[in-house]
Chain A
Amino acid sequence: MRNTDVAFGWRLIDAVIATGQKLRLEKLSKASPYIMVAPAFLLVSLLAVGIFYLGWLSIHSFDTFLFEQGPISTEQYRRLVEPPSGEFYLNTLTRTLVMSFLVTGFSMVLGVPAAYFIVRTPSRLLRVLVLVMMLVPFLMGEIVRTFAWFMILANRGALGWFLGLFGVEDGGILGTPFGVFVGMLQVSVPLVALLVLPAIRRIDPNLERAAATLGASPARIWRHVVLPLALPGLVASTVVVLLLNIAEYDMPAILGLGRFPFVANIIGNIYTLQQNLYLGSAFSLVLLVISSLLIMAPFALVRLYWRYFKERTS
């Protein structure tokens, strides 16, 4: 029975090969990598086309009474910066950026040592266990993470109960920026840990031992050995986590009770409440430009750092 199955399989493959030869597929082999990436390329192009379309819509005026597209103008961008509405949009943008930088900074402080532990712990079980824990928040989904923190921070939530055990009154973190901050940390910290892992792995542990032998304190080893060697990985993961954070939606909406909206919330509102695709396009594009700058900034910064470093050592 098994033998006939195998024979059938071989015949099938022979047939495929014969068809291929008849169709002269080998002539295509030079073009084959392009054919292989083409479907993915086309699919991603939908996003690229959409982004160009955002740009096109954002430079048109929009008649909010007739719901009609007007002539080309800078109206949308002026609404984002000029009074009366400009202050609100700019404040939202500033808040989003400040919070994202804060969350990302804290995530580095917590995530990098966690990655270091994963790399250097001698126990394989512990390593896999921590690695697994780092993956779960990412796979839970934004809304479930938000629900979890809602259950912790809400009135009669887990935090209030825990503090009550010590007779401390719950401060009412729900609806404060701190609540949003803590909620965002839950996914940022593990993500940092996973992203810097390869960079820390490449550091030779003997370098740290050498530094320790020469009398360096753990803090000095971190400052002069671990962090400089992991720098490219640190920079890359900072950018990725920043990009993730500036697009945050659920945490400000639910944990901030909508009092401290992020750019994503406002873009969502512009669509759902005002049905204004033009203003929404402009704001989306502003966020996109800022994120592109954030992606490029590290290359300039790292170059500067190394120049400074070389001057000091030479």
Chain B
Amino acid sequence: MGPVIRLILAIVIALVAVPLTIVIIASFSGDERLIFPPGSYSLNPYRALLGNEAVIEALGRSLIIGVQVVIMSLIVGVPAAIALVRHQFRFRISIGMYLILGVATPLIASAFAFLVLFTNAGVLGALWPISVGITVVNLPFLLFSIASSLASLDPRLEEAAATLGAEQVQTFLFVTLPGIMPGILSGTIMVFVLGISEFVISLLLSTVSIQTLPIAMYASLRGPPPPEVAAAAGLYVIAALVVVLILTSLKSTEQFFYRSD
């Protein structure tokens, strides 16, 4: 591998890793004002986070949204992905393309579309419209994840089960479902993390009384950021790192991005 590629790789790694490190360091700052490097280290930002009721409530709302997004995505996503990969039917390709409309539309346009729709329906001010919007936009990630898992599951296994006398339900429960579990799990985790950190849709669909955590952080970033923002950011970074570790241990990430076909 040439020196140019090594140099570029070093730049890319720095571009990705330096911000993570800075967030983690800042989240242990002992100062009143966030500066770098911190004058002293402490757990104060995390204590301030726990003491700030508004932020804790915002965190709670983000977690609720994350759970709602996961439930909705699984209910609509798992059967859809299986149908798209395993069944032959008319308009299969068109329907597949239609289901990823959420990633093909610029996020702000999707957010505005949901805004006018939900304003007209008079449901703005609840959490579930935000969850619906986030689900539609991130559904493709779950679909891709399950589809790549399904594609690497040998269909002959299912046929064999059927030959041996298994009913459709049995085949699904004992062969298909365990086979695609890694894909479902990694897709679910991805959709959850994207849900709790989603910004633009929450910005347009949330009111002051139902601010989510990213929106609360955004509001406090317009001035000198208070220490609890650093703690919240630190939590997000740790969550992202944990999730990535789970994803790699599931092996389906490698399958997902690095198919061995």
Contacts and interface: CB of A to CB of B under 8 A. Distances in A.
Q: Do A and B come from one complex?
A: yes
Given A40-B77, A150-B221, A151-B26, A117 B194 contact: no
B197 A110 contact: no
A54 B116 contact: yes
Interface stretch (B155-163, B177-185, B250-258): B250-258
A70 interface: no
Q: Describe A's contact surface by its main secondary structure.
A: helix
Interface residues of B, number: 101
A131 B253 contact: yes
B114 interface: yes
A180 interface: no
B106 A281 contact: no
Contacts, number: 296
A39 B102 CA distance: 15
Contact of A152 (B22, B139, B197): B22
Q: Describe B's contact surface by its main secondary structure.
A: helix
B244 A46 contact: no
Contact of B197 (A39, A140, A249, A268): A140
A277 B173 contact: no
Contact of A41 (B5, B95, B173, B200): B95
B23 A147 contact: yes
Nearest to A122: B1
Nearest to B26: A151
A192 B64 CA distance: 31
Interface in A168-204: 185-186, 189-190, 193-194, 197-198, 201
Interface string B3-20: 011101101110111111
Given A17-B170, A34-B83, A147-B217, 19 more contacts: A35-B79, A36-B82, A37-B84, A44-B101, A117-B1, A134-B16, A139-B193, A139-B244, A141-B197, A141-B214, A143-B218, A147-B233, A148-B20, A186-B19, A190-B12, A197-B257, A249-B108, A271-B115, A288-B109
Interface of B: 1-2, 4-6, 8-9, 11-13, 15-20, 22-23, 26, 34-37, 72, 75-77, 79-80, 82-84, 87-89, 92, 95, 98-99, 101-110, 112-117, 119-120, 132, 135-137, 139, 143, 167, 169-170, 173, 190, 193-194, 196-200, 203-204, 214, 217-218, 221-222, 225, 229-230, 233, 236-237, 239-241, 243-245, 247-248, 253-254, 257-259
Interface of A: 13, 16-17, 20, 32-37, 39-44, 46-51, 53-54, 57, 109-111, 113-114, 116-118, 120-121, 127-128, 130-137, 139-152, 156-158, 160-161, 185-186, 189-190, 193-194, 197-198, 201, 218, 240, 243-244, 246-247, 249-250, 253-254, 263-264, 267-268, 271, 277, 280-281, 284-285, 287-288, 291-292, 295
